[in-house]
Amino acid sequence: KFLVAGRGGLNLTHGEAAENFPARYRAEPERWRDLLTEFGPDGLRAWAEKLEVETYVGTSNRVFPRGQKAAVLLRAWLERLRNSGVEFRTETRLRSLTKEDADWRLAFADGEGLAARALVIALGGASWPETGSDGEWPPLLQAHGVELAPFLAANCGWNVAWPQAVLEKAEGLPLKNLSVQAGDETVSGELLITRYGLEGGAIYRLGPILRAMAQPALQIDFKPQVTAKVLLQRAGGALRPNEWFRAWKLSPGATVLLESFYPEDCTDRARAVARAKNFVLPLQDPRPIAEAISTAGGVLWSELDDGLMLRKMPGVFLAGEMIDWEAPTGGYLLQGCFSTGTRAGRMAAEYRPRR
Q: Express the helix, strand and coil content of the chain in percent, nearest 5 each.
A: 40, 25, 40
Query: Chain-wide mean pLDDT for the chain?
Result: 96
Q: Residues 10, 112: one domain?
A: yes
How large a percentage of the chain has pLDDT more than 70?
100
Q: pLDDT at position 353, please?
A: 85
Q: pLDDT at position 224, please?
A: 98
Confidence band of 355 (pLDDT split at 50, 70, 90) = low
Is 177 part of any domain? Answer: yes
pLDDT digits (tens, 9 = 90+) for 134-159: 999 999 999 999 999 999 999 999 99
Separation between Cα atoms, residue 18 and residue 29, nearest integer Å: 12
Q: Residues 47, 114: one domain?
A: yes
Cα four-point dihedral sign 125, 6, 62, 193: negative
pLDDT digits (tens, 9 = 90+) for 230-275: 999 998 877 788 999 999 999 999 999 999 999 999 999 999 999 9
In whole angstroms, how far apart are CA 17 and each of 24, 88, 232, 264? Answer: 12, 37, 39, 46
Across residues 71-84, what is the average pLDDT? 97
Which of 66-75, 188-197, 202-211, 334-343 comes out lowest in average pLDDT? 66-75
Q: Domain boundary at 282, 304, 330, which?
A: 282
Q: Residues 18, 148: one domain?
A: yes
CB atoms closer than 10 angstroms to residue 31: 19
SS (H, E, C) 136-157: CCHHHHHCCCCCEEEEEEECCC
Q: Residues 69, 7: one domain?
A: yes
Is 334 part of any domain? Answer: yes
Confidence band of 328 (pLDDT split at 50, 70, 90) = very high
Across residues 161-183, what is the average pLDDT? 98
pLDDT beyond 90 at 44: yes
pLDDT beyond 90 at 204: yes
Q: pLDDT at position 238, please?
A: 76
Is 229 part of any domain? Answer: yes
pLDDT beyond 90 at 67: no
Classify residue 303 by burial, with Cβ atoms within 10 Å: 0-12, 13-18, 19+.
buried
Q: Domain boundary at 239, 259, 282, which?
A: 282
Q: What is the CATH number of the domain that holds 76?
A: 3.50.50.60
The total domain count for the chain is 2
Q: Which of these, 272, 323, 274, lies nearest to 300 by C-alpha position?
A: 323
Across residues 63-82, what is the average pLDDT? 94
Q: pLDDT at position 296, please?
A: 97
Question: If you ran DSSP here, which 8-state letter would residue 135 be given?
Answer: S
Q: Which of these, 104, 124, 123, lies nearest to 114 by C-alpha position?
A: 104
User: Which structural domain, as residue segments, surrounds residue 262?
Assistant: 158-282
Separation between Cα atoms, residue 75 and residue 90, nearest integer Å: 16
Q: Residues 200, 265: one domain?
A: yes
Q: Are 293 and 333 in contact (CB under 8 A)?
A: yes
Q: Residues 249, 277: one domain?
A: yes
Q: Residues 149, 165: one domain?
A: no
Confidence band of 174 (pLDDT split at 50, 70, 90) = very high
pTM exceeds 0.85: yes
How large a percentage of the chain has pLDDT more than 90?
91
Q: Residues 175, 86: one domain?
A: no
Q: What is the CATH number of the domain that holds 174?
A: 2.40.30.10
Q: Residues 57, 141: one domain?
A: yes
pLDDT digits (tens, 9 = 90+) for 90-136: 999 999 999 999 899 999 999 999 999 999 999 999 999 999 899 99
Q: Are 256 and 172 in contact (CB under 8 A)?
A: no
